[in-house]
Amino acid sequence: MLKTISKIGLVAAGALTLVSAFARNANAQNVCDEKVKEEVAKLLADPLIVQAPGSKEALALEAKIAAKYSVCAADSVDVGKVPPEQAGKFCGKLSHLGNATYEQMRCCGYDPRKQMFACPVDILKPVGFGPPPYPGSYENVLTCVEFGGVYQPVAYDRVHLANNTSSSDIPVWEFAVLASAQGRLKALPLNGKTLQARSILSWGFTPKGCYDTPYWGNSIDYQIRLDP
């Protein structure tokens, strides 16, 4: 999977308060609303994608769906305009902020002994993820580490979720994506060295690479340390 992602990348009070502060303006609505997100979830439930995730054919279909809904990129927020007090609630630097009204990832960490990344994901709405229990949809997280001034993929995984039907209350559910280190990072010695990392949360679509800017989700840049 990591090799596929890398190749594609070369080719191509609390969480609710935090999210509301990122709206492009207080009275504006997102270009791609809940109805659109559910439409995308339905298209991503195509058997080609569900049965062979990460395959060349599945990624090609994802790309076609993403192109159809390219207008959703307009919901991204200029991270340079995020107030410091809000940006400070993310660990490290907020490097991309797409539509974060449904999900967001505020922090990630790395366990060098277990060679495992952990990225909690806040789920902020009960719908927008596809019908339960399946097919639902996925929160994807690609993690990259900087080598020679260029980010390279080192870990990828995803977590399944679906619409909530058990309560009408405004939710804040916590999911997490756990991903094992691969490639160059896995081979490094545990010598206390600090490395720059980037994790990209992308709802629905497999991240295209270390510089992807997903429609729904965000990315953060932070430091990891290879302690023994």
State which amino acid sits at residue 58: A
Question: In the predicted model, is pLDDT for residue 93 greater than 60?
Answer: yes
Instruction: State the greatest distance between any 2 C-alpha atoms of the chain, in Å, as a whole number.
Output: 51
Both tokens of residue 12?
């191509």
Both tokens of residue 80?
């340079």
For residues 191 and 10, the model is more confident at: 191
> Distance between CA atoms of 111 and 99, rounded to whole angstroms?
29
- The predicted-structure confidence for 99-126, as pLDDT tens digits, reads as follows 999 999 999 999 999 999 999 999 999 9
pLDDT at position 172: 84
> Distance between CA atoms of 145 and 152, rounded to whole angstroms?
5
> Where residue 29 falls among pLDDT bands split at 50, 70, 90?
confident
Domain chopping of the chain, boundaries: 2-225
pLDDT at position 10: 41
pLDDT at position 86: 86
pLDDT at position 25: 33
Contacts of 88 (CB under 8 A, 6+ apart): none
Question: In the predicted model, is pLDDT for residue 165 greater than 90?
Answer: no
Tell me what the mean pLDDT of segment 205-211 comes to. Answer: 97
Percent of the chain exceeding pLDDT 90 equals: 78
State which amino acid sits at residue 221: D
> Where residue 169 falls among pLDDT bands split at 50, 70, 90?
low
pLDDT at position 3: 53
> Distance between CA atoms of 68 and 197, rounded to whole angstroms?
31
3-state helix, strand, coil in the chain (%, to 5): 30, 30, 40
Average pLDDT of the residues of the chain: 89
Tell me what the mean pLDDT of segment 78-82 comes to. Answer: 93
Contacts of 68 (CB under 8 A, 6+ apart): none
pLDDT at position 27: 34
CA angle at 186 for the pair 185 and 189, rounded to the nearest 5°:
85
